[in-house]
Amino acid sequence: MTTEMTKPTGEAGTNGKAAAEDLAARQHDLDKERHLEYYRQMMLIRRLEEKTAESYTQGKIGGFLHLYIGEEAVAVGVVAGTEPQDHLVTHYRDHGYAIAKGSEPGPVLAELYGKSGGVSKGRGGSMHLADVKRHFWGGYAIVGGHIPLATGIAHSIKYQKKNEVVVCVMGDGSTNIGMFHESLNIAALWKLPIIYLVENNLFGMGTALSTHSSLTEIHQKARGYGMPGDKFDGMDILTVRDHVKTAAERARSGGGPSLLEAMTYRFRGHSMADPQLYREKTEIEEWRTKRDPILLLTSKMYAQGIFSEEDTKQVDEQVDAQIIAASKFAEESPFPKPEELYDNIYVNENY
Amino acid sequence: MTTEMTKPTGEAGTNGKAAAEDLAARQHDLDKERHLEYYRQMMLIRRLEEKTAESYTQGKIGGFLHLYIGEEAVAVGVVAGTEPQDHLVTHYRDHGYAIAKGSEPGPVLAELYGKSGGVSKGRGGSMHLADVKRHFWGGYAIVGGHIPLATGIAHSIKYQKKNEVVVCVMGDGSTNIGMFHESLNIAALWKLPIIYLVENNLFGMGTALSTHSSLTEIHQKARGYGMPGDKFDGMDILTVRDHVKTAAERARSGGGPSLLEAMTYRFRGHSMADPQLYREKTEIEEWRTKRDPILLLTSKMYAQGIFSEEDTKQVDEQVDAQIIAASKFAEESPFPKPEELYDNIYVNENY
Amino acid sequence: MPEITYREALAQALREEMHRDEKVYLIGEDIGAYGGSYAVTKGFLSEFGAQRVIDAPIAEMGIVGTAIGAAMDGLRPVAELMTINFAVLALDQIVNHAAKLHYMFGGEITVPMVVRTVSGWGQLGATHSQSFESWFAHIPGLKVVTPATPSDAKGMLKSAIRGSDPVIFIEHSLLYGIKGEVPEGDHLLPLVGAQVLREGRDVTLVSYSRMAILALRVAAKLAQQGIEAEVVDMRALRPLDMQPAIESVMKTNHAVVLSEDWRTGGMGGELAAQIYEHAFDYLDAPIGRVAAEEVPMPYSKVLEQLVVPDENKIIKAVHEVLGR
Amino acid sequence: MPEITYREALAQALREEMHRDEKVYLIGEDIGAYGGSYAVTKGFLSEFGAQRVIDAPIAEMGIVGTAIGAAMDGLRPVAELMTINFAVLALDQIVNHAAKLHYMFGGEITVPMVVRTVSGWGQLGATHSQSFESWFAHIPGLKVVTPATPSDAKGMLKSAIRGSDPVIFIEHSLLYGIKGEVPEGDHLLPLVGAQVLREGRDVTLVSYSRMAILALRVAAKLAQQGIEAEVVDMRALRPLDMQPAIESVMKTNHAVVLSEDWRTGGMGGELAAQIYEHAFDYLDAPIGRVAAEEVPMPYSKVLEQLVVPDENKIIKAVHEVLGR
Ligand SMILES: Cc1ncc(C[n+]2csc(CCOP(=O)(O)OP(=O)(O)O)c2C)c(N)n1
Ligand SMILES: Cc1ncc(C[n+]2csc(CCOP(=O)(O)OP(=O)(O)O)c2C)c(N)n1
Ligand SMILES: [Mg+2]
Ligand SMILES: [Mg+2]
């Protein structure tokens, strides 16, 4: 299973019909591989989330657990629209982003189990997991708290003249907090290579968009900083990818930051503890049946003949196997040792 | 010397020429009285500031002293454009606002001297002085810190269905801080009766507008909240008054908040300690000679024949006398007593 | 007297005060449509309407700051900060504003506001498991309340709302479910005044909030070992009423202070220092201090359990102090 | 060794480290074009350019937060918060982020950042005269440094910049002008370790930052009265090195702790509690505590003078402790 491919080479061969056919076939293979990879990532995220929900009710996972089910196209699209060396910083609803960025499901699940094999050695948990070597800087659980950090990473990139871009993901509810404002002003002022991507899932916890934000068109908040804003369907992975790509190219070529708004919906409660008093079951059902990002991708792909049900079945099996393996890894991973409690308070003990 | 008059009654009398002339004369008197009052307030502010500068160098005033010289038209225009029952909350550059809102110069100066006759009994000092009975809620020295407070007062007004409006004054440099964002979102969301008035004097301390703000057209920051924004000449008291009035009427009639930007300039350093390394002397001179708000008013009034040099001379003398009296009051006012140190920590000692 | 939970006691206080005075309103994140993240205000939105039960944007400075402003103009806001970890974001408004205004403006401005917030932990990770009561207790102008029992929760919350000073009202997430007898109706308690919850002659356990409840449980166990522990509940951390603790130590000659915050710079140091100072000649041994281990809270349960004070740690500290 | 001011010592440290390592940059309000509100970075903008001396918007969370982010990615920011009163606005970034990341992400993230800030007073009023060192000292994951001398100012700032942990570096506005001998060039001092600044046998004065300097002055006066005071400068408040203070008290049997912050919940309580605990059998009298009066700082000079600790208050406390 490769990660997102580079662009097809695109040279038109000599000129014979065979060469053209060959090219078309190669193109089809590439298309298939790429789109099936999107599918695979989304399925892996979903199945892993289902697994975590199960583990939570079994008491294997503690604290708060925020599921990403329904929003998979955003994470996968963000990663598809950027490069492996690009940076990702997200809020606490972060498992999907770790997976999209290439983290192994085993260590992600182990993190949720509080095991030492977790991506953050069991110290962080669901809301705070990172995989720094993959430039996934982690989930952050203080709403808005990560926005200045992501902005600072972008500042470092510019300072060091690196060819990288940061994507900072947050929810609609997070755009009303002071750190959002301070960060976007700084990013626009210094023309930093960063994309602020808002997952507008219509609620911040139980508070509806129109109850928490004066501008319900979140991307228009960009106007307060002279920054480009862009809104799009967050349920369509290809749309997400393309819009992110455009903003990433702008950022990479010195055009500065953007504020993107991906319209999406979480199919589950805010966290496992959410009684969901604030929305109608029918609303959820409507989204689930008509706007499931995975179904949207497969139906489009089947219709266009890019991949088939056979293909997805194969992927599904692989994913199921991955989840079983991840679960085994997480179960078998040892808990941190008591004597490690004081590890990693400081880097330099005696400085 | 009366405060700002209500509107002229405006009925056209019976119909004779005499009545019309009478009306014109009455109108002229009203105009004269009103505009001379603006002049008086601006002069009083300026002379009082000059007095404080002198007292500061004499060691009678301690700490930080931020002078308002050059910006008088904004404070006087804000008060002229609103009603006595309307509320005012400002940043630390606040002496001018206290005076415009009707505070006596004596207690204002006494506050700066740390005397018990000060408007805040000598506890607050230059940066924190209030005159609550005049609905001047004070100067606040944490940049941006007063913006949520002012918003809360507006919330209280709406909650209690009162017919009042709040003006919250801040500098250009204060619009980049998180509290600005949180407050403006809340005010727009709840349609609160408040005007956010930015004194854009082109610098936050020594940092130029374009170095601190991504949008140098500060009033356009309103766009991030779907709020009306408005920019105008802050050196022209009549312009300030009219623009504030429009926004106040909107706020009073349920139209919600506005963000106003008054273009102005401080003729002195940020505080008395400022070496002013960051701007050219010629720039200051240019403003002083061409854009002095007091000169702008008098030259216009003289040209239109609304009041004469004779009139201003009279006012000047009154103002000088007021400053002398204020100084005497401040000098003679006693220092707080040591045994009062613990007064006013709590309202209810044993609750 | 009816037995109700700490949660119900708080809800009762809020409900009664809202019925009593129209100027009382609630503001916070998810207190309305969601029902409150700890369900304290469940049902309030439909009972009192959106004007008085305000679901705020996630904007801690805005929530507290607008509450201060409204209080200045005569309303009586009860602002809820979902957890004390987020209160950190509102500290400028609380410390540089709410705590200062009455004094700084010569008594002309008053801030009759209550900020309700919650300490606690439970695999919530480093950003969500903190205790900052010593920070608030450090600030003149604030009143800081840390009720341990349902009765105190109700009685002190009602007084906090009726009083005219800014009150930081710190609840504990692990206490919401505990039950106790709570007087119905106008049950008003002073916001200052420590209390002896259990008498004993051998050692004094000085504590507040959840640790006071833990102290009671420990005292029962110690009694089985023949150790009679006196339990002092501080109840409020500013103003501090040290008298009961000092008098108790004068009798028992031994003390252990208990808190859930980090040891260095935490509440325990202050409590111990004052006891040492005023019961200097009565102490037979150094005061024991039980507090959290000084690490950012690890998520993993096995590590978290090592960090938080528990019954065994308290018992161990008592044994040490008593030289057993 | 050249005698330079505390201000010059800081400037030297910054300048040398910036020349040594391109990854070091400064960010803060008015540190460039204005020259620094306390003139520490005067001339830096023209020497190093706007890329490395960044005049930031007034956005304390943004300043600290972007510095943390840049540090995560390998830069070595020195962020200046104009005064510690404004640091309150950045506490979420400092406490919920900088202090947590290394631990919380299992050691994968490091935050090599210094936050320079300033305590002090001088008729600045209630919002501008505060001391919050005990707040920072309470937080695991931070290093908290409070240099009293020009030599420490330089040596500890250089170490803070070279180290890879988040350091809260608290200067004092009334110390910028004091002079002392400071080694030129690579003068690096550890960020932990209290020191005896003056030896004496009668009483131990335990302090840090400006109060350590005041303690030295007081000790000279006490000597004239025949009282030999030993002065311990804590130098850093996290990690705390209590050993020198404890050993000193074991010798002198008397102690007074001095700090400029409010008494309740301040640094003095912690220092005292630890001395009591570890020198319990050596103390002949309760430890004296000199701290600020517990009021929001009044502007009026006559009241302000009553609030802040001064030489007379210290002398009085020493007399009390010694029973004279
Ligand atoms: C500063 C802060 N305030 C409050 C919270 C509690 N909280 C956690 S998530 C959340 C809602 C966030 O909503 P949104 O940003 O829309 O993200 P979503 O959960 O919908 O993905 C709240 C209020 C927090 N973690 N941090
Ligand atoms: C939160 C905070 N940060 C920094 C300061 C220091 N400071 C005081 S005034 C000021 C500049 C404010 O500029 P602006 O808002 O434009 O107002 P002006 O002084 O120009 O009227 C700064 C940085 C402060 N008082 N509060
Ligand atoms: Mg949301
Ligand atoms: Mg300005």
| Chain-chain contact of B215 with A221 (C-beta, under 8 angstroms) | no
Region C204-227: mean pLDDT is 98
Is pTM beyond 0.80? Reply is yes
| Chain-chain contact of D277 with C273 (C-beta, under 8 angstroms) | no
Number of Cα atoms under 13 Å in the Cβ half of residue B90:
29
Q: What pLDDT is recorded for position A143?
A: 98
Using the mean position of ligand 3's atoms as its centre, give its distance from the Cα of residue D64 in Å. 26
Which residue type, as a one-letter code, is found at position D97?
H
Q: Are strands D236-238 and D143-145 parallel, antiparallel or unpaired?
A: antiparallel
More reliable by pLDDT, D69 or B6:
D69
Region C17-21: mean pLDDT is 98
Using the mean position of ligand 1's atoms as its centre, give its distance from the Cα of residue A201 in Å. 12
pLDDT in tens, A195-238: 999 999 999 999 999 999 999 999 999 999 999 999 999 999 99
**3-class secondary structure, D201:** coil
Q: What percent of chain A has pLDDT over 70?
A: 95
Number of Cα atoms under 13 Å in the Cβ half of residue B38:
33
- pLDDT-derived band at D54 (thresholds 50, 70, 90) equals very high
- Among D60, D80, D260, D304, the one annotated catalytic: D60
C-alpha closest to that of B253 among B315, B176, B339, B193: B193
Question: Is C128 labeled as catalytic in the residue annotation?
Answer: yes
Residue C57, chain B, CB below 8 Å: the answer is yes
Ligand 1 pocket check for C29: Cβ under 6 Å:
yes
- Among D128, D172, D187, D254, the one annotated catalytic: D128
Q: Which residue of D has its CA nearest to A164?
A: D73
Residue D92, chain B, CB below 8 Å: the answer is no
Region B64-80: mean pLDDT is 98
Question: Is C19 labeled as catalytic in the residue annotation?
Answer: no
Nearest ligand 2 atom to the CA of B172 is 16
What crossing angle do the helices spanning B146-159 and C60-72 adopt, rounded to 10°?
60
Q: What pLDDT is recorded for position B349?
A: 82
Choose the residue to mutate in A205, A207, A221 for probing ligand 1, maximizing ligand atoms within 8 Å of C-beta: A205
**Chain D residues lying within 8 Å of A350, measured CB to CB:** 190, 192
Using the mean position of ligand 3's atoms as its centre, give its distance from the Cα of residue A284 in Å. 14
- What is the rounded distance in angstroms from the CA atom of residue D168 to the CA atom of residue D190? 14
Task: Looking at the complex, report in whole angstroms how far the Cα of residue B185 sits from the nearest Cα belonging to chain C.
Answer: 9
- What is the rounded distance in angstroms from the CA atom of residue D151 to the CA atom of residue D4? 9
| Chain-chain contact of C106 with B119 (C-beta, under 8 angstroms) | yes
pLDDT in tens, D29-39: 999 999 999 99
HEC readout, chain B = CCCCCCCCCCCCCCCCHHHHHHHHHHHHHHHHHHHHHHHHHHHHHHHHHHHHHHHHHCCCCCCCCCCCCCCHHHHHHHHHCCCCCCEEEEECCCHHHHHHCCCCHHHHHHHHCCCCCCCCCCCCCCCCCCEHHHCEEEEECCCCCHHHHHHHHHHHHHHCCCCCCEEEEEEHHHHHCHHHHHHHHHHHHCCCCEEEEEEECCEECCEEHHHHCCCCCHHHHHHHHCCCEEEEECCCHHHHHHHHHHHHHHHHCCCCCEEEEEECCCCCCCCCCCCCCCCCHHHHHHHHHHCCHHHHHHHHHHHHCCCCHHHHHHHHHHHHHHHHHHHHHHHHCCCCCHHHCCCCCCCCCCC
Could you give the angle at the alpha carbon of B323 between the alpha carbons of B321 and B327, nearest 5°? 120
> Which ligand is closest to the CA of C57, given by its number?
1
Tell me which residue has its CA closest to atom 18 in ligand 2.
B171
The answer to whether the bond into D239 is cis (omega within 30° of 0) is yes
Chosen for mutation from C72, C142, C189, C241 (greatest number of chain B CBs closer than 10 Å) is: C72
Ligand 1 pocket check for A270: Cβ under 6 Å:
yes
Q: Are C113 and C94 in contact (CB under 8 A)?
A: no
The answer to whether the bond into D296 is cis (omega within 30° of 0) is no
pLDDT in tens, B295-345: 999 999 999 999 999 999 999 999 999 999 999 999 999 999 999 999 999
Ligand 1 pocket check for C89: Cβ under 6 Å:
yes
Q: Are strands B203-204 and B207-208 parallel, antiparallel or unpaired?
A: antiparallel
Using the mean position of ligand 2's atoms as its centre, give its distance from the Cα of residue B324 in Å. 31
Using the mean position of ligand 1's atoms as its centre, give its distance from the Cα of residue A296 in Å. 28
Residue B77, chain C, CB below 8 Å: the answer is no
Q: What pLDDT is recorded for position A14?
A: 54
Structure-token pair, residue C62:
């805005």
- pLDDT-derived band at A81 (thresholds 50, 70, 90) equals very high
Residue A149, chain C, CB below 8 Å: the answer is no
- What is the rounded distance in angstroms from the CA atom of residue C125 to the CA atom of residue C113? 30
Q: What pLDDT is recorded for position B145?
A: 98
Structure-token pair, residue A25:
């076939």
Going by the DSSP 8-state scheme, the letter that residue C287 receives in this structure is: P
Listed by number, the residues of chain D in 127-166 with a beta carbon closer than 8 Å to a beta carbon of chain A are: 140-141, 143, 159, 162-165
C-alpha closest to that of C295 among C41, C47, C125, C145: C125
pLDDT of residue A2 exceeding 80, the answer is no
pLDDT of residue A128 exceeding 50, the answer is yes
Q: What pLDDT is recorded for position A15?
A: 66
Q: Are strands C179-181 and C3-5 parallel, antiparallel or unpaired?
A: antiparallel
| Chain-chain contact of C272 with D277 (C-beta, under 8 angstroms) | yes
Q: What pLDDT is recorded for position B326?
A: 98
Residue D122, chain B, CB below 8 Å: the answer is yes
Q: What is the mean pLDDT of chain D?
A: 98
Q: What is the mean pLDDT of chain A?
A: 95
C-alpha closest to that of B255 among B197, B161, B170, B190: B190
Ligand 1 pocket check for C59: Cβ under 6 Å:
no
pLDDT in tens, C234-276: 999 999 999 999 999 999 999 999 999 999 999 999 999 999 9
In chain D, what is the straight-line distance between the N-terminal and C-terminal CA atoms, in Å?
A: 41
Q: What pLDDT is recorded for position B20?
A: 87
Task: Looking at the complex, report in whole angstroms how far the Cα of residue C121 sits from the nearest Cα belonging to chain A.
Answer: 8
Using the mean position of ligand 2's atoms as its centre, give its distance from the Cα of residue A13 in Å. 65
Q: What pLDDT is recorded for position D41?
A: 98
| Chain-chain contact of A185 with B176 (C-beta, under 8 angstroms) | yes
pLDDT in tens, C267-307: 999 999 999 999 999 999 999 999 999 999 999 999 999 99
**Chain D residues lying within 8 Å of B335, measured CB to CB:** 300-302
Which residue type, as a one-letter code, is found at position A167?
V
Residue D273, chain B, CB below 8 Å: the answer is no
| Chain-chain contact of A145 with C30 (C-beta, under 8 angstroms) | no
Residue B340, chain D, CB below 8 Å: the answer is yes
Element (H, E) at C214: helix C210-224
pLDDT of residue B3 exceeding 70, the answer is no
Using the mean position of ligand 3's atoms as its centre, give its distance from the Cα of residue A148 in Å. 19
Tell me which residue has its CA closest to atom 21 in ligand 2.
B171
pLDDT in tens, B164-184: 999 999 999 999 999 999 999
Which residue type, as a one-letter code, is found at position B146?
H
Ligand 1 pocket check for A174: Cβ under 6 Å:
yes
| Chain-chain contact of B177 with D127 (C-beta, under 8 angstroms) | no
Q: Which of D30, D61, D300 sits opposite B207 (nearest CB)?
A: D30
C-alpha closest to that of A127 among A159, A77, A178, A91: A91
pLDDT of residue A108 exceeding 90, the answer is yes
Q: What pLDDT is recorded for position B1?
A: 33
Q: Which residues, 6 or more positions from C281, have their beta carbon under 8 angstroms from its beta carbon?
A: none
B–D: how many Cβ contacts below 8 A? 132
Neighbours of B284 (CB within 10 A): 17
Q: What pLDDT is recorded for position A16?
A: 75
| Chain-chain contact of D266 with C91 (C-beta, under 8 angstroms) | no
Residue D195, chain B, CB below 8 Å: the answer is no
pLDDT of residue B2 exceeding 60, the answer is no
pLDDT of residue B9 exceeding 80, the answer is no
Going by the DSSP 8-state scheme, the letter that residue D297 receives in this structure is: P
Chosen for mutation from A119, A121, A182, A212 (greatest number of chain C CBs closer than 10 Å) is: A212
A–D: how many Cβ contacts below 8 A? 147
pLDDT in tens, C22-65: 999 999 999 999 999 999 999 999 999 999 999 999 999 999 99
More reliable by pLDDT, B10 or B205:
B205
pLDDT of residue D91 exceeding 70, the answer is yes
- pLDDT-derived band at B12 (thresholds 50, 70, 90) equals very low
Number of Cα atoms under 13 Å in the Cβ half of residue B150:
33
Q: What pLDDT is recorded for position A1?
A: 33
Q: Which residues, 6 or more positions from C238, have their beta carbon under 8 angstroms from its beta carbon?
A: C136, C137, C139, C142, C143, C144, D264, D265
Region B53-62: mean pLDDT is 98
pLDDT in tens, B109-131: 999 999 999 999 999 999 999 99
Q: Which of D238, D269, D294 sits opposite C140 (nearest CB)?
A: D294
Tell me which residue has its CA closest to atom 5 in ligand 1.
A143
Q: Are B92 and B125 in contact (CB under 8 A)?
A: no
